[in-house]
């Protein structure tokens, strides 16, 4: 039984080597940035343009990703606070803790929305100033 498993494993490794070797050789000869640019152009997208446009786009992307992560954290805190409240079984201390978590999460959401509005304004102003 053990020899069958060993033979099967060796056969899989051999087949994988024959299949992956040409793929890896081909991948080593292709420049990924050229491939991505060609794919984007074929899909109907325009070239990214100058470095200033790329900078503002990158800043906007980073801000959006960070704000999205903070939104996910807000959602997790609201769910956790609600779970604590629902499972408190009349324990006033746990209810108070849950209310505090929910209140702090809502305050955080307000700050998050204000940060999004400010960053959106700044990114739009940067894009307009650079003429993108």
The torsion of the CA quartet 48, 123, 66, 41, rounded to 10 degrees, works out to -10
**CB contact at 8 A, 71 and 113:** no
pLDDT tens digit string along 44-89? 776 655 555 677 677 777 877 887 888 889 889 999 999 999 999 8
At 90-120, the pLDDT tens digits run 899 999 999 999 999 999 889 888 888 887 8
pLDDT of residue 100: 94
* Tens digit of each residue's pLDDT (9 = 90 or more) over 4-29: 766 776 677 777 666 666 655 655 56
Which residues fall within 8 angstroms of residue 59, CB to CB, at 6 or more apart? Answer: 123, 126
Output the pLDDT for position 4. Answer: 74
Confidence of residue 41 (pLDDT cuts 50, 70, 90): confident
| pTM tops 0.75, yes or no | no
What burial class does residue 98 get, using C-beta atoms within 10 Å of its C-beta: 0-12 exposed, 13-18 middle, 19+ buried?
buried
With DSSP H G I counted as helix, E B as strand and the rest as coil, what are the percentages for the chain, rounded to 5? 85, 0, 15
Q: Which of 94, 107, 98, 100 is nearest to 79 (CA)?
A: 98
Main-chain dihedrals φ then ψ at residue 31, nearest 5 degrees: -85, 120
- pLDDT at position 30: 61
């Amino acid at each position: 039984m053990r020899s069958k498993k060993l033979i099967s494993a060796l056969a899989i490794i051999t087949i994988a080597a024959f299949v992956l070797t040409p793929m890896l050789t081909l991948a080593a000869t292709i420049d990924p940035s050229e491939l991505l640019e060609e794919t984007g152009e074929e899909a109907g997208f325009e070239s990214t343009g100058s470095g200033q446009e790329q900078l503002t786009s990158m800043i906007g992307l980073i801000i959006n990703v960070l704000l999205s992560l903070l939104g996910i954290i807000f959602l997790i805190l609201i769910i956790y606070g609600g779970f604590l409240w629902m499972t408190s079984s009349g324990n006033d201390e746990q209810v108070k803790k849950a209310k505090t978590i929910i209140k702090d999460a809502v305050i955080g959401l307000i700050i998050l929305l204000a940060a999004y509005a400010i960053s959106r304004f700044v990114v739009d102003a940067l894009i307009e100033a650079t003429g993108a």
